[in-house]
A and B are shown apart, each in its own frame.
Chain A
């Protein structure tokens, strides 16, 4: 493969990743604003976005920190939100498993919803791609997404210190989360899991912060999987 093909793959990925900027920028800014409003410093806020780089779990952790949940509960809940990435990791193996160790480590760090979805659908559509083309393409997709994530977290963090109270910003968390989740409710099983989670979380709200949510999440996962199994079996 010539190096110009590899270069072309990077820019192809870059173009495919670019539209995500519209979604990632406001979401990153919301996290930045919320984190500084909650009392985190700008450096701590950036620490989250650079070291974790997983928005939903960052906001989940932040909310539980504000609720004064114990550290172990904060970590368990935020990591549960990220468990789906084990599935991403598994389905990238046939495509990128042959890459050098450190390349795979960097790819793992940069595996987010957008890069995963875009990359796998391109790999499936274009089976002639070599491993190194696939690597270039992956880095192309994630380049605009990750850059936007870092930069707009910083913008949000700096703005957050200047936004006046009374802007109903408390409600940015639910709206951001509902907006991420609603498009995922594609099947009866997904709906069943979501409803279970809502009902149990409200019923168990009297438990220490975060504990009810963890139970609700576990049960909801099992319900979702079980509904899916039964739907498959049905004629």
Chain B
């Protein structure tokens, strides 16, 4: 990472302040006022709209293999998603993904 300590703290402080303002928005500042339904709808999709896009390049082009697609990482990602959707449980999803990531190379003698 090429960031100076000053830049890192700038990011931490601004992200902390911004996140607090989001959390305090209605409870502290706006109060009991109706949110426009369309805006509420958009908010509902923020995590599933941002996180998959963040992860996709890391799964398809991993830095550890210099950006070459890696079958084991693809399987590990698929296992995490499948178990996560099936069990609705973050813990078991992580176990499945990590299990595939570390188990597969052993199984196929890699």
Contact = CB atoms under 8 A, between A and B. Distances in A.
Given A89-B25, A221-B45, A109 B58 contact: no
A194 B52 contact: yes
Chain A interface helix/strand/loop/mixed = helix
B13 to A, nearest CB: 7
Interface centre among A22, A173, A179, A220 (most CB of B within 10 A): A179
Contacts of A213: 50, 53-54
B27 A168 contact: no
A81 B97 contact: no
- Taking residues whose C-beta sits less than 8 angstroms from the other chain, chain B's interface range is 35 or more
Contacts of B57: 201-202, 205
A48 interface: yes
A79 B53 contact: no
Contact of A63 (B2, B10, B54, B101): B54
Nearest to B1: A39
A65 B8 contact: yes
A128 B1 CA distance: 53
B50 A77 contact: yes
A66 B54 CA distance: 13
A68 B8 CA distance: 12
Contacts of A104: 24, 27-28
A97 B25 contact: no
Interface in A77-134: 77-90, 92-94, 96-97, 101, 104-105, 107-109, 111
Contacts of A107: 27
B89 interface: yes
Contacts of A101: 28
A202 B50 contact: no
A163 to B, nearest CB: 14
Contacts of B43: 83-84, 86-87
A170 B67 CA distance: 12
B2 A182 contact: no
Contacts of A47: 9, 12
Interface in B70-107: 73, 76-77, 80-85, 87-91, 93-94, 97-98, 101-102
B54 A193 contact: no
Interface in A198-235: 198, 200-202, 205, 212-213, 216-218, 220-225, 228-229
B96 to A, nearest CB: 8
Contact of B49 (A96, A108, A217): A217
B64 A48 contact: no
Contacts of B7: 71
A111 B23 contact: yes
Contact of B93 (A53, A79, A173, A182): A182
B16 interface: yes
B87 to A, nearest CB: 8
* List of 9 A-B pairs having minimum Cβ-Cβ separation, nearest first: A182-B84, A201-B53, A224-B45, A51-B16, A220-B49, A179-B93, A197-B53, A175-B97, A108-B24
